[in-house]
Structure 1
Amino acid sequence: MIHSLTLSDVLAEHARSRPQVTAVVDGEVRLSYPELDARVTRLARALKGRGVTAGERVLWLGQNSHAVLELLLACSRLGAIFCPANWRQSTDELRFVVEDLAPAVVVWERSEAAAPLATEAWVEDYAALVEEASAAEFPTPATPDPAMPGSPGPDDTVPVLALYTAAFDGRPNAALLSSAALLAHSTSLLVVRQMEPGFTFLNNGPLFHVGTMMFCLATLQIGGTNVFTPSFDADEVCRLVDAEKVTQAFLFGQMIDAVVAANAERKYDLSSLRFVSHSTEWDEMTTPNDSPWCRSKMGGYGQTEVGGMLTFLGLAPGAAGFAGRPSPLVQVRILAADGNEVPSGEVGEICARGKTLFSGYFARPELNAQKSLYGWHHTGDLGRREPDGTITFIGPKLRMIKSGNENVYPAEVERVLKSHPAVADAAVIGVPDERWHQAVKAVVALKAEASAEDLVEHVRTRLASYKKPRHVEIVESIPKKGFTPDYDALDAAHGGGNYPGA
Structure 2
Amino acid sequence: MHANMDWLQSRVNISPDAQAVIDAVTDDSWTYKELYERANIIANYFVTKGVIKGDRVAILAPNHIGYLDFFFACMQIGAIFIPLNWRLGNNELTYVLQDSKPKLLGVSPDFKEKVNQTNVDAEIIEIASNDYYKHLTYERHDVFVELKEEDPLAMIYTGGTTGKPKGVVLSHRSILWNALNTIVSWDLSAKDVTLITTPMFHTGGLNVYTLPLLLAGGTVVLSPDFYPEKAVHDLIKYRCTVVLFVPTMYHMIIQTKEFQEATFPDMRVFVSGGAPCPHRIYEAFHEKGIAFKEGYGLTEAGPNNFYIAPEEAIHKIGSVGKPMMFNDIKIVKDDGTVAKANEVGELVLRGYHAFEYYWNKPEETAEVIRDGWIHTGDLVKQDHDGYVFIVGRKKDMIISGGENVYPLEIEHWLEANERINEAAVVGLPDEKWGEIVTAFVSLKADVTEEELKEYCNQKLTRYKVPKKFYILEELPKTHVGKINKALLKEKYSLDQEKV
TM-score, structure 1 length as denominator? 0.84
Aligned length: 476
1:325 correspondence with 2:328: no
Q: How does 1:341-360 map to 2 (within 5 A)?
A: 341-360=338-357
Query: Could you tell me how far apart the structure 2 residues matched to 1:241 and 1:374 are?
Result: 43
Query: Could you tell me how far apart the structure 2 residues matched to 1:460 and 1:248 are?
Result: 37
1:428 correspondence with 2:422: no
Identity percentage of aligned residues: 28
Query: Could you tell me how far apart the structure 1 residues matched to 2:308 and 2:284 are?
Result: 25
Query: Could you tell me how far apart the structure 1 residues matched to 2:239 and 2:490 are?
Result: 50
Does the aligned pair in 1 maintain the 2:152–2:169 contact within 8 Å? yes
Render the CA deviation track for 1:91-146: whole Å, top value 9, x for unaligned: 222222212222222221112x564224657461334872344x43426xxxxx3x
- Tell me the CA shift for residue 258 of structure 1: 4.8
Aligned to 1:439: 436
Aligned to 1:217: 211
Does the aligned pair in 2 maintain the 1:61–1:109 contact within 8 Å? yes
Aligned to 2:388: 391
1:109 correspondence with 2:103: no
Does the aligned pair in 1 maintain the 2:184–2:325 contact within 8 Å? no
Render the CA deviation track for 1:140-167: whole Å, top value 9, x for unaligned: xxxxx3x244xx522x332212222233
Query: Could you tell me how far apart the structure 1 residues matched to 2:13 and 2:269 are?
Result: 31
SS where residue 109 of structure 2 aligns?
coil
1:228 correspondence with 2:235: no
Does the aligned pair in 2 maintain the 1:168–1:409 contact within 8 Å? yes
Query: Could you tell me how far apart the structure 1 residues matched to 2:495 and 2:211 are?
Result: 36
- Tell me the CA shift for residue 73 of structure 1: 1.1
SS where residue 182 of structure 2 aligns?
helix
- Tell me the CA shift for residue 448 of structure 1: 4.7
RMSD: 3.4
1:313 correspondence with 2:315: no
Distance of aligned partners of 1:320 and 1:118 in 2 relative to their CA distance in 1, 3 Å threshold: closer
Aligned to 1:185: 178
Does the aligned pair in 2 maintain the 1:19–1:34 contact within 8 Å? yes
Distance of aligned partners of 1:497 and 1:347 in 2 relative to their CA distance in 1, 3 Å threshold: farther
Query: Could you tell me how far apart the structure 2 residues matched to 1:498 and 1:58 are?
Result: 44
Could you list the runs of 5+ residues in structure 1 that have no partner in the other structure?
140-144, 289-293
Distance of aligned partners of 1:299 and 1:498 in 2 relative to their CA distance in 1, 3 Å threshold: farther
State the one-letter code of the partner of 1:185. N
Query: Could you tell me how far apart the structure 2 residues matched to 1:230 and 1:42 are?
Result: 23
Does the aligned pair in 2 maintain the 1:316–1:390 contact within 8 Å? no
Q: Pick which of 425-434 and 312-321 moved more.
A: 312-321
Render the CA deviation track for 1:340-384: whole Å, top value 9, x for unaligned: 434444322111111111112111111111112344211111223
Could you list the runs of 5+ residues in structure 2 that have no partner in the other structure?
272-280
Render the CA deviation track for 1:211-234: whole Å, top value 9, x for unaligned: 222200111111112211111123
Distance of aligned partners of 1:310 and 1:238 in 2 relative to their CA distance in 1, 3 Å threshold: closer
1:490 correspondence with 2:488: yes
Does the aligned pair in 1 maintain the 2:229–2:253 contact within 8 Å? yes
State the one-letter code of the partner of 2:134. E
Does the aligned pair in 1 maintain the 2:98–2:120 contact within 8 Å? no
- Tell me the CA shift for residue 68 of structure 1: 0.9
State the one-letter code of the partner of 2:74. C
TM-score, structure 2 length as denominator? 0.84
SS where residue 323 of structure 1 aligns?
strand
Query: Could you tell me how far apart the structure 2 residues matched to 1:108 and 1:131 are?
Result: 16
SS where residue 59 of structure 1 aligns?
strand
Render the CA deviation track for 1:247-274: whole Å, top value 9, x for unaligned: 23333556456556363797x9953333
Query: Could you tell me how far apart the structure 1 residues matched to 2:31 and 2:84 are?
Result: 27
SS where residue 188 of structure 2 aligns?
coil
SS where residue 40 of structure 2 aligns?
helix
Query: Could you tell me how far apart the structure 2 residues matched to 1:239 and 1:320 are?
Result: 27
Aligned to 2:140: 138
Distance of aligned partners of 1:337 and 1:270 in 2 relative to their CA distance in 1, 3 Å threshold: closer
- Tell me the CA shift for residue 466 of structure 1: 2.0
State the one-letter code of the partner of 2:179. S
Query: Could you tell me how far apart the structure 1 residues matched to 2:155 and 2:487 are?
Result: 37
